Amino acid sequence: MNTYKIAVIPGDGIGNEVVPKALEVLKQAAELNGTFQLECTTFPWSCDYYMEHGKMMPDDGLEQLKKFDAIFLGAVGDPARVPDHVSLWGLLLKIRRQFKQQLNVRPAKYLKGLESPLKNPKGFDLVIVRENSEGEYSEVGGRIYQGEDEIAIQNNVFSRKASERAMHYAFQLAEKRKNYVTSATKSNGIVYSMPFWDEIFKSVSEKYNIKTDSFHIDALSAYFITKPEMFDVVVASNLFGDILSDIGAAIMGSIGIAPAANIHLDGEYPSMFEPVHGSAPDIAGKGIANPIGQIWTGKMMLDHLGEKNAADNIMSAIEQTIANGIKTPDLSGSASTKEVTEAIISYLK
Ligand code: NAI
Ligand code: MG
């Protein structure tokens, strides 16, 4: 029996409602599978914790988290009491940075029974692998002069190492999926970093027996709207991946179902799994938060831990629940967080 040690941080707002529900689903999936178990330790780090201790987590917080196999996080933020830059930088972004979570991975899938804003969504099922440590979001640059003469320079930083790392991950993921990797580029306009990215993509692709394409980001963004069903795994730099991820979540129909993973690759630190949505203060405490984003995030965590069977079972239970119209109000349904969770658990069985 494999035992995985999971650090659970429900955080704020609806994080406290959807995380316990997702754990119920994960534990049920593990039990049905019978070959692994999750040993969960919950940490109360949040804005409540901040109000009491003046910090989002203890000084040795990262040290405590380091020994876990994965981190399962809800959402952080309670802007009425703690400014967002304090709460996010004091917990979430600290973990992402210090634990070198270099990739952000976000799937987008058409789920039958969901209202996609696309008029005629065909069954798209894609994953965006975003390089998340450098690229366009670098801190290299500066501003000089003032007034009319003022100049701002923002440098893009592309390293062979980080680009290769993201691409290898994308190819290995595609091997387990539909054997197709698309690279997001813009080498017709960005003349140093993007040709470099393209060269690396070409050399990495030669190590795999996988179909590839490379599209400029403008056209690629348009294809996400007009024919998203053509994609499998899409690998992109930090900025391009950021934009594509949001389009992916948008065409699915609700932020309440979108999952994400922050992946660390060198085995030194745990990866962190958290849904795309925030703490949703507007609906917190009402029992109507959609738990699917958190549950699907848990599914990604099981995939990452190598428990593909249990992960696939969770996905199909989510799909059956939505297809049968058991949906929270954000999906135009009338079910509660609890009812959606119970339905997912019953479809697991
Ligand atoms: P949000 O994602 O919390 O909410 C945006 C809208 O989507 C709201 O109307 C909310 O009710 C709805 N929504 C979100 N998740 C839902 C769910 N599971 N079920 C049903 N409806 C859902 O974003 P917002 O309002 O901009 O931010 C609120 C707080 O969350 C802020 O403090 C923000 O900084 C924080 N935040 C934290 C994130 C994280 O922890 N990764 C990500 C995004 C925001
Ligand atoms: Mg974004």
The lowest-confidence range among 116-120, 196-200, 224-228, 318-322 is 116-120
Query: CA angle at residue 27 from 272 to 333, to 5 degrees?
Result: 85
Q: Which ligand is nearest to the CA of 82?
A: 1
- What's the mean pLDDT in 239-250? 95
Tell which atom from ligand 1 comes closest to the C-alpha of 282: 11
Q: First vs last Cα of the chain: how many Å apart?
A: 20
- 233-236 and 180-185 beta bridge pairing: parallel
Give residue 287 CA to ligand 1 midpoint distance, Å. 15
**68-104 pLDDT, tens digit each:** 999 999 999 999 999 999 999 999 999 998 999 999 9
Give residue 236 CA to ligand 2 midpoint distance, Å. 14
For residue 312, pLDDT over 90 is answered with: yes
With a 6 A CB cut-off, is 289 part of the ligand 1 pocket?
yes
- CA distances for 28 relative to 44, 60, 108, 286, 344, angstroms: 23, 32, 25, 25, 10
**11-22 pLDDT, tens digit each:** 999 999 999 999
**33-51 pLDDT, tens digit each:** 999 999 999 999 999 999 9
The per-residue pLDDT of the chain, averaged, comes to 96
- What's the mean pLDDT in 206-233? 98
What pLDDT is attached to residue 325? 96
The whole model's pTM is what?
0.94
Give residue 174 CA to ligand 1 midpoint distance, Å. 30
For residue 254, pLDDT over 90 is answered with: no
Give residue 67 CA to ligand 1 midpoint distance, Å. 29
Residues of the chain with CATH 3.40.718.10: 1-103+258-349, 116-252
For residue 122, pLDDT over 90 is answered with: no
Q: What's the fold here for domain 116-252?
A: Isopropylmalate Dehydrogenase (3.40.718)
With a 6 A CB cut-off, is 74 part of the ligand 1 pocket?
no
What pLDDT is attached to residue 85? 92
- CA distances for 208 relative to 116, 170, 175, 192, 200, angstroms: 34, 11, 9, 26, 13
Tell which atom from ligand 1 comes closest to the C-alpha of 74: 40
Probe target for ligand 1 pocket from 257, 277, 288, 328, with the most ligand atoms within 8 Å of CB: 277
Give residue 284 CA to ligand 1 midpoint distance, Å. 10
With a 6 A CB cut-off, is 283 part of the ligand 1 pocket?
yes
For residue 176, pLDDT over 90 is answered with: yes
- The SS3 of residue 185 is strand
* Neighbour count for residue 187 (Cβ, 10 Å): 16
Tell which atom from ligand 1 comes closest to the C-alpha of 18: 18
For residue 132, pLDDT over 90 is answered with: yes
Share of the chain above pLDDT 70, in %: 100
For residue 120, pLDDT over 90 is answered with: no
Give residue 276 CA to ligand 1 midpoint distance, Å. 8
Domain 1-103+258-349 - what CATH class?
A: alpha beta
What pLDDT is attached to residue 115? 87
With a 6 A CB cut-off, is 329 part of the ligand 1 pocket?
no
Going by alpha carbons, the residue nearest to atom 23 of ligand 1 is 278
Give residue 160 CA to ligand 1 midpoint distance, Å. 35
With a 6 A CB cut-off, is 63 part of the ligand 1 pocket?
no
* DSSP structure class, residue 263: E
- Residues 110, 251: Cα–Cα separation, whole Å: 8
Q: Which ligand is nearest to the CA of 106?
A: 2
With a 6 A CB cut-off, is 12 part of the ligand 1 pocket?
no
- What's the mean pLDDT in 162-181? 97
